[in-house]
Amino acid sequence: MEISHITLIVQNLAKTTTMLETLFDAEEVYDSQDQTHSYFPENSF
């Protein structure tokens, strides 16, 4: 069994991004920026 993805809904995307990059050496591979296809900004690592 493997995990393909996990969704987190957070209050502060910038702080969460820093935490993931620091603790897990995560690399951002997607940033929704100003696209409006979602209710909230999205980042993928």
Which two structure tokens, joined as six digits, stand for 6?
Answer: 């996990």
Supply the residues annotated as catalytic: 42
Residue whose structure tokens are 């100003």: 34
Q: Give the span between the Cα atoms of 33 and 41, in whole angstroms.
A: 7
Helical H runs in the chain? 13-24
